[in-house]
Amino acid sequence: MKRIFSWLSAAAFLFSSSSFAAINFNQNIIVSGSNNGSVSRSVSVCVLNPFTKIFAEAGITEAQARRNVSLACQRDQGSNSIFCEESKARCHQSQLWNGDQTSGNSGELIIYNMRNQAGRTVTITDNIADLSNVQFDNTLESFEIPVGWTVRFYEDKNFSGGYYTRTAGKYNADGFMNKISSIQIMQR
């Protein structure tokens, strides 16, 4: 817990004016390999900073956290302060790990069932010929590819049909959202 608050404090200084914090908990499914008991949580850190004060809050959903930071700001700045509006909060999403996570995301593709790296996740370390085996067929909406990797997303099972190739980074599956049935790691 101390680590979260330290991160929130640091994040407050990194964001420009009007930012905010939220926590969304999404337990990972490890498709290949062992997770050694580690669990990842997707975290949105958001901050409001009217004038020289900084307010950071968290919640189970982004909406709850936006409300929490707005209320914290209003307790100090006054009820219904225009400087404490939820819409003025800004967010950053990251991963927190509970357990042994020695390599970060250096060797795992993470796919999500919601846009902007949110929702249920599947962590992939090897090719998957049929995403229905992990209850993710035609479900992918966003993904995170580690540095140095090239990944190909196929519309059909067994690496066939139309495909989309992407390299390292965080992306929404624009143009192929909810269409992917298999995934091939082309380069690590």
CA–CA gap between residue 114 and residue 188 (Å, rounded): 25
When pLDDT is averaged across residues 134-158 and rounded to a whole number, the result is 94
């380069």: which residue's tokens? 187
**Is the pTM for the entire model greater than 0.85?**
no
Cβ-contact 43, 95 below 8 angstroms:
yes
The whole-angstrom separation of Cα 127 and Cα 105 is 17
pLDDT score recorded for residue 41: 57
Give the pair of three-digit tokens for residue 57. 């809050």
Which domains does the chain carry? 2-25+40-98 (no CATH), 109-187 (2.60.20.10)
Q: What is the mean pLDDT of the chain?
A: 75
Give the HSE-up count for residue 152: Cα atoms under 13 Å, Cβ half-sphere: 15
Contacts of 32 by beta carbon, 8 Å cutoff, 6+ apart: 124, 125, 126
pLDDT digits over 34-65, tens only?
A: 344 444 455 666 688 888 888 888 776 778 87
104-131 pLDDT, tens digit per residue, is: 456 899 999 999 999 999 999 889 999 9
Which of these, 55, 56, 66, 59, lies nearest to 25 by C-alpha position? 59
Tokens standing for residue 2 = 């101390």
Q: Which of 19-23, 77-81, 101-105, 179-183 has the lowest mean pLDDT?
A: 19-23
Token digits for 163? 């495909």
**Cα angle, residue 169 at apex, residues 12 and 100 outer, rounded to 5°:** 70
Of the ranges 43-52, 135-144, 179-188, which one carries the lowest mean pLDDT score? Answer: 43-52
